[in-house]
Amino acid sequence: MNFYKELFNNVKLKKGFGVELNIAGVVGVGKSSLSAILEEKGYVIYREPVFDNPLLDKFYFNKERFAFPLQIFFLNKRFQMIKDATKMDKSVLDRSILEDTIFAKMLRDRGEMVPEEYDIYIELFYNMLEHVKSPRLMVYLRVQPEEAIRRINLRGRDYEVENDTSYWHQLNDNYEEYFKHYDWSPLLTIDVDNIDFVNKEEDKEFVLRQIFKKLSVLYPHLYRYNASDNSVFRLDTKFDDNIQKIM
């Protein structure tokens, strides 16, 4: 059976929701940038643990040695973030806990994580997932690998730039296959190859409106979208009479 089809067959949906939004996509697509934009709108952001990560640099220069501890590090940190984020209103997670399996699978397939390590990882993953609820909305930022590589080179992190380009193509293929089978939560896919939502105001508004319009359709008791002026309002769940204008 296809790995990702089996993954979602094994994922059990739970009543209720965890975080408000998950931002998904390959390395370099702009997840952190979109999270920062949402933070300006009053959302609470839980960022991917890459800057205070004692293993990431080591991993890129010795993958066989550090693949397993790095994946356990990410899984543990992500699980802690989810526990914290579910207590917050309007929380956003930069990459989901399910996406971690994409990287673990690739490491196994490339021989950089031995089968015994992978089996331990996947068992721990499923044990943790029993305590995780799906997000209200998964936002998949889709980009072609050539554009992702261009953005990776532009931001210039040494451990990413020195990776061979075949890795980024394989990562993109895995993400496409993953989201072909995705059914853990409502999903919004936005193609961002020709969109610069960091530097162009009209592109930023386009991406945000795609997200908020989708949320207003899915959760009209929480989000209200006014088509006449493209304004967006959200009900504060802690105070029923408090409606916040987001855009």
List, by residue number, the catalytic residues: 94
In 3D space, the residue among 234, 176, 168, 206 whose CA is nearest the CA of residue 34 turns out to be 206
Q: Calculate the alpha carbon distances from 118 to 43, 109, 232 in Å.
A: 35, 10, 44
In 3D space, the residue among 234, 3, 219 whose CA is nearest the CA of residue 103 turns out to be 3
Where are the extended beta strands (E) located within the chain?
21-24, 44-46, 91-94, 137-142, 187-191, 223-226, 231-235, 243-245
94 alpha carbon, distance to own chain's centre: 5
